[in-house]
Structure 1
Amino acid sequence: MLTAAHSRRLREIWRSAGWPCQDLIEVELLAAGFIERVRQPSGHETLRVTDAGVALLVDALQRNRARRDAHEDLVERVAREMTRAGRLAWRGLALRAKVGGGPDSQDGAQWVMAMPDVFSIRHTTVEAYVEPIVHEIKVSRADLLSDLRREAKRHAYLQLSGECWYVIARGIAEADEIPPEFGVMAAEGAALEVLRPAPKRACAMSLPLWMALARATPLDGWQHDDAQGLL
């Protein structure tokens, strides 16, 4: 059975001059007929992706594109729901969070880069009412399980928000497979169902986080949505 490592190697061979690595992944691709050895006039061998390998690359590309489109559609839907709730929402922010150690100590602490799919705050002039929320979107089980194995990333989400949610495509996981510190929503069609509410925690936004928001552009729409509702 071909794995992600096989697909990655196949793409590398397609993009390169075909120099062999002579490892077991290469052996399995040769045995499956996705690549072949080509002897050059100089006597050395290179690798060439066969027609079967090209078909496999196209199939993987189409599946990845469909998964990416489904992910982006769900990110957009969640972000729009936040703006309709009167919040300011950002997509794809790159944020730094200190994970581990005490609040005033660097012992055991590390800085982690986190890119939550949707980050939102209340539209308010009172800092205590800002209520930052992180939504992380997952449409495939493999992507979800990979994310759950990255403990530092999960702790970064919690450091950045007072509520943190996983929004998953219906059927890829059960709520109890996701750590209890996170709320869980399931998306099916146009519906978003809360499977488990997110615990609420006090969260004071740091100056670096405020600066990151100041440099970014929130999703447009919350004003327009409110105006539209009056028509």
Structure 2
Amino acid sequence: MGAEASTSAAGTDAAVPALTRLHTRRLREIYRSAGWPCQDMLEVELLAAGLVKRCLTPSGHTVLQVTDAGIAVLAQTLAGNRAVRSDHEALVERVAREMQRAGRIAWRGLSLRAQLPGPDPATPGRWCIAQPDVFSIRNTTVEAYTEPVVHEIKVRRADLLGDLRQPMKRAAYLDLGGECWYVLGSDKKGRCIGAPDEVPVECGVLLLEQNRLHVARKAPRRAITRLPFGLWMALAKATPMAGLDEDNQALLGEPTAPEN
């Protein structure tokens, strides 16, 4: 009898699938909502995994409630997402600082209007909103010398592969910048999340290896002598990344000139 029960339990555990993003997303939706069931296979798998349970309300309706095990999964997912965002933001900050050191003005998290090409030359293009991780221009008063550049930062391989399947997203970046670069971070073992030849040739590739950024492939440069008025307005309304003007900073403890 005990052997039969053990075999039955093992069979039940084997039927529980590995959790995916779809499972954790549904788990969050159930936690945030009143718990009304969808009665689909995703819900069945969450029930089988013991992450949600069915409850009967006083009115006689069946609702779903996230169990303690489900709460633990949500907390673990949240911690992982925060770690990924932290790694991403740190690399965005680093790339923006490198642009500043190169004499450029850098913005992070802009929403810019870009034009996508039509299916053929006779068809007009359509507009979309692009959100490059880092957008920079040269610090110059001559418009023809601005040389806008887009940097897209990736710290997870899944995000990189998903991005590479979106040619229209790259087309939007190429419309905004004379150069478009992919910056590839490293995983927990220090391995780069992608190879340069995985990135389309119209984009350059920067790799973060052993905590150092180096050029794996230069980005083709497209001459842009005039920025669209809408782009100028977006830049004027946004705040560029603050830089440190060391020439105008007094050293701590250094005596200041007496006031007259």
Relative to the length of structure 1, the TM-score reads 0.92
Q: Match for 2:65: what amino acid?
A: R
Is 1:174 aligned with 2:195? yes
When residues 211 and 193 of structure 1 are mapped into structure 2, their CA distance, relative to the original with a 3 A threshold, is same
Partner Cα distance (1:52, 1:182) in 2: 44
Report how far residue 156 of structure 1 moved: 0.4
Partner Cα distance (1:225, 1:45) in 2: 65
1:72 matched to which residue of 2? 89
Stretches of structure 1 lacking an aligned partner (at least 5 in a row): none
Rg bigger for which structure? 2
| Runs of 4+ residues over 6 Å off in structure 1 | none
1:15 matched to which residue of 2? 32
Percent of matched pairs sharing the same residue: 61
What SS does structure 2 have at the residue aligned with 1:198? coil
User: Aligned ranges for residues 149-228 of structure 1 at < 5 Å?
Assistant: 149-170=165-186, 171-203=192-224, 204-221=226-243, 224-225=245-246
Partner Cα distance (1:227, 1:176) in 2: 44
Partner Cα distance (2:62, 2:140) in 1: 66
When residues 200 and 210 of structure 1 are mapped into structure 2, their CA distance, relative to the original with a 3 A threshold, is same
Post-superposition CA distance 1:112-144 (Å, at most 9, x none)? 110101000001111111100000101001111
Is 1:59 aligned with 2:80? no
Moved more, 182-191 or 1-10: 182-191
Partner Cα distance (2:201, 2:94) in 1: 24
Report how far residue 101 of structure 1 moved: 3.3
1 or 2 for the larger relative contact order (CA 8 Å, sep ≥6)?
A: 1
Post-superposition CA distance 1:163-220 (Å, at most 9, x none)? 1100011321111111111111111353101111111111232111111111111111
Q: CA RMSD in A?
A: 1.7
Aligned residues: 225
Is 1:119 aligned with 2:119? no
Is 1:24 aligned with 2:80? no
Partner Cα distance (2:152, 2:122) in 1: 27
1:109 matched to which residue of 2? 125
